[in-house]
Each structure stands twice: as C-alpha cells, then as structure tokens.
Amino acid sequence: MPDQLKFVNLDWLDSNVPCMAACPVHTEAGRYVALIEEGRYREAYHVARRPNPFASICGRICAAPCEQACRRGKLDQPIAIRALKRFVCERYGVESMVDLDKLKEVFGKTVKKNGIKVAVIGAGPAGLSCAHDLALLGYEVTVFEAQSVAGGMLRLGVPEYRLPRELIRLEVNAILSFGVELKLNSALGRDFTLSDLKRQGYQAFFIGIGAHKSRDLRIEGAELDGVLRAVDFLLNVNLGYRVELGQKVIVIGGGNVAIDVARTAARQERVEVGHVTEIAEALDVARSAVRFGAKEVHMVCLEDWHEMPASTDEIAEALEEQIQIHPRKGPSRILGKNGKVVGFETIDCVSVFDEQGRFNPQFAPGTEQHMEADTIIMAIGQTSDLSWIRPEDGIEVTARNTINVDPHTLATTAPGIFAGGDVSFGPRNAIDAIANGKKAAQSIHYYLRGKQIEGVKLHLSEREVEIVVYDTKQYKREGGYEKKQRVPIPALPIDRRIGVAQVELGYMEEQAIEEASRCLHCWVNTVFEPMGEETGTECILCGGCVDICPENCIDLVALNRVEVDQSLFAELAKEYDIVLKGETEELVGSVMIKDEDRCIRCGLCAMRCPVGCITMEGYAVSETMPA
C-alpha cells in the first residue's frame, strides 16, 4: 500500500498543481479531468463536488481561475475545466435528478446533530456554503434570507440564459437535505437583530448578506426618469417584473454584469424573466439589455479593451450579439427633457489608474460627445447595506463600507460573529464567496470547540495525500496528446440567443473525453533519485533523460556551473544530502534542473533511464472536515 501523508501546510501541494492552487476551494481539477478521460464519471463528480457545494452551478458560471493557471495554457490553450465540470455534474450532479440521498456518497458518512445552534444570515453562495459545511459537522444551522428566494446574487443577478433557475433550486435543496433550515423573507435589521438571535440560543453567527446596493454616479441628470441601477434592474428582471427600456440603452461600466444586463435588455420583447454574476457589473447589464428588446445597446466604460474587468469570452459574446462597446469614455452628464432621459454626454478618458496603480481616472477637456438614449443603466459597482449594525453588536466597519474581518479566519471584531463574501471583501467571483463560506465554517467550528483561532491561518479542511508510484513500463500517454487542440464548447447560434435560451450548451461525451485527454497531469511528477531506491544503483550521468526529453525541459549540469543563492545550497544540502555528496577538489557533483512549466509528464525520461533512478510519482487527495 502507498504511504499515507497528512499535510499541515498545503503550499507545497498546491504549488505543484497550478489549477488546484488557483481554485479558491482547492478543487483537484486535474484529477476529475483525468477521470473523465478514463470514463470514470461518477468518481470524477465526487472529486469535483467534495470541496464545492455549488459544483453544478460553478460548472456553468465560475470565473474559472483554474483555467487561467492551467499549465496547458503555456503550450497552447488551457483545458476547458469549467465545461468538463459541467459535463460530469450533468450526469451525477443535482441536475441529473439522482436521488439526493446519493449525494451523501460523496462524504461517506451520516451526520449526527450535536444540538448547537448556529445562525447564517444570507442565503447566497457564501452563506449556504457555510451552512453546508457546518451541517456536515453536526451543527443545527438556520439560514435567514431577506428575499423571497434563496441563492443571493446567483438567483437575483445571474441571467437565466447563463444559469437556469431550476438548477439553483436543486443545488439549494441538496444543501437543505443535510438538515439545514431556511427562513425566507427574514431580513436582518428589519425582522430581527443579532441580539434577538442570541436570546434564541444561537451561539455563533456567519454574516453573508452580499452587496445588493448599486453605487451611484454623482453627475448631472442622475435623478432623471429612465436612469436605472444595475442591481435593481437585474433583481426586478429576475423576480419576474417587466422593465420598460425603450429602443436605445446605454450601460455605464466595463464588467461582466454590465454586459449581461445589456444582452438581456436587447431581448425584452421575447423574455418574461431574466436572471448577476460575480465581480464587475457591466457585461451582465449589457447582455441583459440585449434580451430585453432594445434595438441599440451601448456600453460606455473608462477602461481600454485590455483593461476591462470583464472576461475576454464575455466581451467576445457581447460583440457577437451586436452590443456596441465604447472604451476610454467617461460619463460627463445625462441629458434630459421634461424630466426624462434623452441622451448621454461622454468625455474621453486619458487614463484610469495613476502611477501607483490606484483608481484615479483622468479626462480630456473639450472631448465631450453626445449619444441618444432612452434608458441609462449604471453598472459601476455594488456595496452593502450595513444600516442594521447596532453599537451593542460590536462589529467594526471599514472605510470601504465592508465588515472588517481577519482575512485568515473571517472573524469580525465581535466574539462569535464571522462574515464573508461580498459584505466583507466587496463584489467578487462566486467561487471566492463559496471559499469564504467554507473557511468561516471551519473557524466557527474551532470557536465553538474552544480552540484558539486568533492569528491562525486556517485551511479549508484537512487532507490526506496518497503517494502513488507508477510502473514506468505501464505509464504511457496517448500518442500526440500534447499536440491536440482545445475542443470548442458548443454554443447556441447567434440568431437563436433569445429570451432565457442557454448560450453555452456543454460537451457531448466524445467531446469531453477528447478535451480531457489534453490534460498534462500536473499532479504526476518526475522524481530524480541519484541513488535508485529499488535498484541500489547510482545515476551514471549518461544524460539519456536529457536527450530524450521532447520539450527540452531537463538539464544535467556540473554543480560549479550553477549560480544560485548560497542559502539555497545549504537548504539542499540539509534536505537532500545526496545532491552535494562527493564534491571535492577532484570531483564535483552534478545537479538536475527541470522546468516544471514546460514538462508535459510524458514519462519518457523515466523509461529511458537505464538504472531506474527516475520514477513517475503522483498523489491523490482525500479531504475531510476538521475534527
């Protein structure tokens, strides 16, 4: 049996697999991608779902930081990790209509309640993730939600053409199936206070109420009829209310939310309801405007094309749908007649950030231009409503109007009260909110067990890592896998993108397997042993591994030719004594240098080694909540 290793510090583990390190909840993306390649879809789903209670949702709308970090992207294009997650979730996730009891297979245990009550305020991704993990730990969790529906901005902001409402309902129900109680239409500050909950016996609290207030522009004409705020617009659309926009819509902002609003607004005549995403607003707004029947939808943003906070894919889709984007333009004033919007005046933006990288836009006087408009939608950011905080709560607020928390534990300045998600860090990606909820659950668990958490950097969970040594003769990859091109994700034709019709359709089985086969298997490493553990032979410095490497990512050089900080030499000598062994006046040791980013894990070097000093070793991670 392979050795079992338990890691306290996960930095080494994450640094070896970039996609895993980039994921805020540390999902083993490469592992489930490899399982898809092998056709082991149920296991792949378990790997994807175990650290993420919203795996099905993330398979559709995650910002996919894992893809940005994917080593395959250094060769050509990254693996379509998000689309592959959707593929397995559609087969074994909540949308597959599999009995919810089978979800417990992922965790392999029956939860026994401990009778301790914890209140979670806010049923968005942060709050529900916290409730999910606390319920798995046995706590009696109640989630309080101000709106009539659960899901937070997943439900009230993300357009339905990106994220079906039924999927959100199923994902929420899966979390509730672990014994979580949900109370809708219950707003903090309006229907109850923190003191009320304490009197009811709640011993710890997580606040994840999001950022549901749109920021305003203080410019002339902002009070005119026809000026809307992005969050208000999306919330009304997603609750089923019709919003009259007219023929010409201008969206102010350069983020994902602004584009979604614009695309929805342009299809208003063909949609009854719509649906926000994660960080910057503008793209969601613009894309929503498209779907709300506007004949012309314009986006005006301060940033240049390369500076826009929206993703390149979202921008490309917006342009495909005939949304007109005007970069490097700032808002000057809103024009009106008889109290109603009739136009918008822009001014050229010279720069958005100063030399220190701070947001400090500069404009060019005399460059004003007019644009006709029936509706102006401001998508310039969101903030939280913290008017519910009372002096006796002891909760400190930052200058940015966020709840002040310890970034490592998410503890507020009040004992037993934790906060996360947008209310603590401002609008970010949904996956960041999910990670916050999971971290808060661990912190609350430590707090209620009387463990010291102040100043401690908590990880999301404990992990056991199984080291696997592969048989060199059996370790083979499909020929030409490193040359395969990324499989395009199927999408709905432009002329059929109306109403709530989903734009991204997802992979078929053959496409998913083909895409998964491109993965470089970053969790597998070439391990160089100067003294072969099994053979007892030493490296003979033949250089065969260097010669056969197809990516030229290995070098074997004399130690005296290496320029490196002496402290590193000392560390190597202490940790790997064999590296420097034999260095004398007559004999100088050699070092093996490998470029991990260029390595494609083909295993040829291990197969070529005549004395067995090179092995291919990987690891599998099992994740458990802390005891």
> Is the model's pLDDT at 340 over the cut of 90?
yes
Enumerate the β-bridge partners of residue 347: 330
Residue 213 burial by CB count (10 A; 0-12/13-18/19+): exposed, middle or buried? middle
Confidence of residue 583 (pLDDT cuts 50, 70, 90): low
Interval 76-102: pLDDT, tens: 899 999 999 999 999 999 988 766 666
- pLDDT above 70 covers a percentage of the chain that reads 78
| Rg of the chain, C-alpha, whole Å | 27
What is the C-alpha to C-alpha distance for residues 133 and 51, in angstroms, rounded to an integer?
10
Q: How far is CA 393 from CA 123, 197, 404, in A?
A: 21, 12, 13
Average pLDDT over residues 178-189: 95
What is the C-alpha to C-alpha distance for residues 414 and 393, in angstroms, rounded to an integer?
7
User: Do residues 210 and 422 touch, judged by C-beta distance below 8 A?
Assistant: yes
Range of 23-37, 226-240, 274-288, 584-598 with top mean pLDDT? 23-37
- Signed CA dihedral, 472, 478, 479, 483: sign only: negative
User: What's the mean per-residue pLDDT of the chain?
Assistant: 82
- CATH 1.10.443.10 describes domain 117-212+384-448: no
Q: Among 346, 352, 398, which residue's Cα sits nearest to residue 373?
A: 346
Give the single-character DSSP code of 325: E
> Is the model's pLDDT at 397 over the cut of 80?
yes
pLDDT at residue 433, rounded to an integer: 95
Average pLDDT over residues 249-273: 63
Residue ranges per structural domain of the chain: 1-110+467-525, 117-212+384-448, 214-381
pLDDT at residue 183, rounded to an integer: 97
1-110+467-525 topology per CATH: Fumarate Reductase Iron-sulfur Protein; Chain B, domain 2 (1.10.1060)
E-only strand ranges, 354-473? 359-363, 369-372, 375-378, 382-383, 417-419, 462-469
User: Do residues 226 and 341 touch, judged by C-beta distance below 8 A?
Assistant: yes
In this structure, the chain runs to a length of 627
More confident position, 416 or 310: 416
What is the C-alpha to C-alpha distance for residues 99 and 93, in angstroms, rounded to an integer?
10
The CATH number assigned to the domain with range 214-381 reads 3.50.50.60
Map residue 343 onto helix, strand or coil.
Answer: strand
Q: Among 512, 475, 473, which residue's Cα sits nearest to residue 490?
A: 512
Interval 51-82: pLDDT, tens: 999 999 999 989 899 998 998 988 889 999 99
Q: Do 1-110+467-525 and 214-381 fold alike per CATH?
A: no
User: Do residues 353 and 309 touch, judged by C-beta distance below 8 A?
Assistant: no
Q: How far is CA 263 from CA 159, 224, 296, 317, 620, in A?
A: 9, 23, 10, 9, 42
What is the C-alpha to C-alpha distance for residues 289 and 93, in angstroms, rounded to an integer?
31
What is the C-alpha to C-alpha distance for residues 500 and 610, in angstroms, rounded to an integer?
61
What is the C-alpha to C-alpha distance for residues 291 and 294, in angstroms, rounded to an integer?
8
Confidence of residue 361 (pLDDT cuts 50, 70, 90): confident
What is the C-alpha to C-alpha distance for residues 581 and 573, in angstroms, rounded to an integer?
8
Give the single-character DSSP code of 394: -
What is the C-alpha to C-alpha distance for residues 305 and 120, in angstroms, rounded to an integer?
40
What is the C-alpha to C-alpha distance for residues 146 and 167, in angstroms, rounded to an integer?
21
Of the listed ranges 116-125, 307-316, 421-430, the one predicted with least confidence? 307-316
For the full predicted model, state whether its pTM sits above 0.75.
Answer: yes
